[in-house]
Amino acid sequence: MKQKKGLIILLAVLLVLCIVYFALRSYNQSQKEAEQAKAEAEKIQVVDIENPVEITYSSEDGSSVSLVKEDDTWHLKDDTETALVQDTIENIADTVSDVQAERQIEDPDSLESYGLDSPAYTITVTGEDGTTETIYIGDGADSDYYMTTGDKENVYTVSSSLPNVLEMNTDNLKEEETESTEDDASADDSSSDDSTSGEESTDTESGSNDE
């Protein structure tokens, strides 16, 4: 009888523990969903271009890069022959086509106050559907940067990851050439073989003279 009573108590305890476990699990899930919803609501989506197919960015020093995507491959707009590092360009495309601001400046001063009258970077990105957006990057704002878009009506701060990804020139985007390296290696091997043959020939002649 005592064993039966103890088993019942044990089952009751297990039942209570299960109820508590699932209640806590449900609460944690609800909290997580609430936090995600809050973060989504606070997100400031400034640029949202789907399937970017053309990107042009220029810096205040006058340098510029224009990229076009055709047949799932990025190439320079004025040079379709030069092979480019596709992963690097896809990273640039993902960054400039999906821009979320850290915050929006309320009642902004003149563009000059943020370095946006003569932007450090000007970026134009075009989507597959023809949608085009222009982004201007100005002065630094602590760890972020000031930014505005085409109409320049609103001023935002944006993560430094946006201007940082643009610190690429045409040479950085080109794939490294491996043919010359392979040719040099072949030449070195040939030179080594010739040298070895020459040494063997010398040794043979020396042996003949000794005899």
Q: Write out pLDDT tens, residues 97-136.
A: 999 999 999 999 999 999 999 999 999 999 999 999 999 9
Assessment of whether the complete model's pTM goes beyond 0.85: no
Average pLDDT, integer, range 184-206: 51
Q: Which residues pair with 100 in a beta bridge?
A: 45
Per-residue pLDDT at 180: 46
Distance (Å, whole) CA 2 – CA 51: 71
Instruction: Confirm if 142 and 173 have CB atoms less than 8 A apart.
Output: no
Average pLDDT, integer, range 51-65: 93
Distance (Å, whole) CA 44 – CA 157: 10
Residue in the block written with tokens 């030069």: 82
- Cβ neighbours of 145 (radius 10 Å): 24
Instruction: Confirm if 137 and 95 have CB atoms less than 8 A apart.
Output: no
If one compares 165 and 24, the residue with the highest pLDDT of the two is 165
Per-residue pLDDT at 208: 47
Residue 181 has pLDDT above 50, yes or no: no
Residue 79 has pLDDT above 70, yes or no: yes
Residue 31 has pLDDT above 70, yes or no: no
Going by pLDDT thresholds of 50, 70 and 90, the confidence category of residue 167 is confident
Residue 148 has pLDDT above 70, yes or no: yes
If one compares 52 and 61, the residue with the highest pLDDT of the two is 52
Q: Pick the range with the lowest mean pLDDT from 29-33, 43-47, 122-126, 185-189.
A: 185-189
DSSP characters for 90-128?
A: HHHHHHHHEEEESEE-SS---GGGGT-SS-SEEEEEEET
Going by pLDDT thresholds of 50, 70 and 90, the confidence category of residue 11 is confident
- Cβ neighbours of 49 (radius 10 Å): 20
